[in-house]
């Protein structure tokens, strides 16, 4: 009977633990057993753990966020963190602390190009995100074994957890060092040159525009060497983009260029992206769909959106007002910046880059998507199959 009571008490205790969240109030390590020098990995202050046992002689058995199991001292476990915590720092802990210009919390940087972040610590698990060389990622626990997995979200929430291997994370790569390493490679080592040049390009995008030209110069050498027509075409397009970005206009010049933009929709000009609700219905008819969209920031005219095949608009029916939010560019619709700057369905991506490259912002993470910055908003311009597809106005929160 005593054994039964003990098991019931243990079960209730574990249920209670499972309903609470536990954090570490100091750096520590995940030990293979209590009072031993052998350990599996490093925890950073703020790491979350799951308790797997009651405290035994001052030690808990715990599970780390990558599912490693081991032991930590009870004194480092808390249900909440506060400013009075006395943090004991482990000088051998490789996890980077917050405070650099790239990330504010515990983190590492991605070392590999096109790194797959997975839903579970399993190479066959669903890919949740593609990461790029130089991306900072949050890390609270890191295993010693380079071939083990790291949770690069830092907590147990399955919706947000992402995993990659330890060996692909570390200190932020140095751009100049990668360039020197590339230049030392034998010209015939095509595979090595491609891998390293991909890292250089991604790191350049994660740095500043001035690094893009030397990065693409080397990458272009490689894609011509391996003679991949699609890669060559894509790289030449990006090199044209880099040329424009290297001569980027000042913010006030960009705002001056874009602030008087207006749409022409089936021949009707919108006068600075606005028109009446009645005119909207007159030109386009009743919308295919009306929907209330959550707008916590209050950035749109109204929560009510009208959806048409040609466009999307925020509409205030009581005030007879409509605000164009997104337009799909076709033979009927175009965006007009000025008499000599018109974006219509005939504009190719290459022509757009060559003419407006000094005005736009771009990112490797959103290929074929460009932005033009305004004071309180931005135009988001999307191309598909080399042709202008849509223009969206996005307001800052």
CB 365 within 8 A of CB 306: no
Q: What CA–CA distance (Å, rounded) separates 108 from 152?
A: 9
With tokens 């000094």, the residue in question is: 358
pLDDT in tens, 14-61: 444 455 899 999 999 999 999 788 999 999 999 999 999 998 999 999
Nearest partner of 150 among 159, 135, 161, 160, judged by Cα: 161
With tokens 């597809």, the residue in question is: 389
| pLDDT of 73 above 90 | yes
Q: Indicate the range of 83-92, 131-140, 188-197 predicted with least confidence.
A: 83-92
Q: What CA–CA distance (Å, rounded) separates 388 from 343?
A: 8
Q: Which has the higher per-residue pLDDT, 171 or 374?
A: 171
Q: What CA–CA distance (Å, rounded) separates 21 from 262?
A: 52
| pLDDT of 381 above 50 | yes
pLDDT in tens, 82-121: 877 777 889 999 999 987 888 889 999 999 999 999 999 9
pLDDT in tens, 290-300: 999 877 777 88
Average confidence score pLDDT of the chain: 90
Q: What is the pLDDT of residue 13?
A: 43
Q: Which has the higher per-residue pLDDT, 266 or 286?
A: 286
Give the dihedral sign, CA 292/296/302/305. Answer: negative
Burial class (CB in 10 A: 0-12, 13-18, 19+), 79: exposed
Give the list of residues 6+ apart from residue 9 with CB closer than 8 angstroms, or none. none
What would the two tokens of residue 256 be? 């001056």
| pLDDT of 3 above 70 | no
Angle between helix 190-205 and 212-226 (nearest 10) = 150
pLDDT in tens, 317-326: 999 999 989 9
**Share above pLDDT 90 across residues of the chain, in percent, rounded to a whole number:** 72
Q: What is the pLDDT of residue 81?
A: 84
Nearest partner of 205 among 220, 197, 215, judged by Cα: 215
| pLDDT of 4 above 70 | no
Q: What is the pLDDT of residue 14?
A: 47
Q: What is the pLDDT of residue 267?
A: 81
Q: What is the pTM of this model?
A: 0.86
Q: What CA–CA distance (Å, rounded) separates 362 from 83?
A: 39
Q: What CA–CA distance (Å, rounded) separates 358 from 246?
A: 8
C-alpha angle 173-178-179 in degrees, rounded to nearest 5:
140
Give the list of residues 6+ apart from residue 234 with CB closer than 8 angstroms, or none. none
Q: What is the pLDDT of residue 300?
A: 86
Kindly state the DSSP code that residue 35 receives in the 8-state scheme: T
């Amino acid at each position: 009977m005593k054994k039964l009571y003990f098991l019931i008490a243990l079960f209730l205790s574990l249920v209670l633990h499972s309903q609470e969240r536990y954090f570490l109030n100091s750096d520590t390590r995940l030990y293979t057993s209590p009072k031993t020098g052998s350990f599996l990995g490093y925890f950073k202050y703020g790491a979350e753990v799951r308790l797997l046992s009651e405290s035994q002689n001052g030690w808990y058995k715990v599970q780390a966020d990558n599912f490693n199991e081991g032991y930590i001292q009870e004194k480092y476990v808390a249900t909440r963190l506060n400013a009075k915590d006395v943090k004991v720092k482990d000088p051998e802990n490789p996890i980077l602390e917050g405070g650099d210009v790239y990330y504010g919390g515990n983190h590492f940087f991605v070392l590999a190009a096109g790194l797959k972040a997975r839903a579970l610590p399993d190479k066959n698990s669903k890919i949740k995100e593609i990461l790029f060389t130089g991306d900072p990622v949050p890390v609270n626990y890191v295993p010693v074994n380079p071939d083990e997995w790291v949770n690069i979200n830092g907590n147990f929430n399955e919706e947000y957890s992402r995993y990659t291997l330890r060996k692909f994370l570390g200190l932020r790569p140095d751009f100049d060092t990668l360039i020197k390493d590339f230049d030392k490679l034998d010209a015939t080592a095509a595979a090595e040159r491609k891998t390293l040049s991909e890292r250089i390009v991604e790191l350049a995008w994660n740095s500043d525009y001035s690094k893009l030209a030397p990065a693409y110069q080397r990458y272009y050498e490689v894609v011509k060497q391996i003679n991949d027509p699609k890669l060559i075409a894509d790289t030449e397009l990006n090199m044209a983009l880099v040329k424009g970005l290297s001569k980027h206009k000042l913010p006030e010049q960009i705002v001056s260029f874009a602030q008087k933009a207006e749409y022409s929709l089936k021949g009707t000009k919108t006068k600075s992206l606005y028109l009446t609700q009645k005119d909207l219905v007159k030109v386009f008819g009743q919308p295919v769909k009306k929907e209330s969209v959550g707008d916590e920031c209050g950035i749109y005219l109204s929560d009510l959106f009208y959806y048409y095949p040609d466009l999307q608009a925020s509409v205030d029916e009581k005030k007879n007002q409509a605000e164009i939010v997104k337009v799909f560019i076709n033979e009927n619709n175009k965006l007009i910046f000025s008499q000599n700057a018109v974006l219509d369905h005939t504009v190719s991506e290459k022509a757009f880059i060559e003419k407006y490259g000094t005005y736009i912002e771009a990112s490797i993470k959103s290929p074929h998507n460009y932005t033009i910055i305004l004071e309180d908003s931005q135009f988001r311009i999307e191309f598909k199959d080399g042709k202008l597809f849509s223009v969206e106005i996005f307001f800052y929160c």
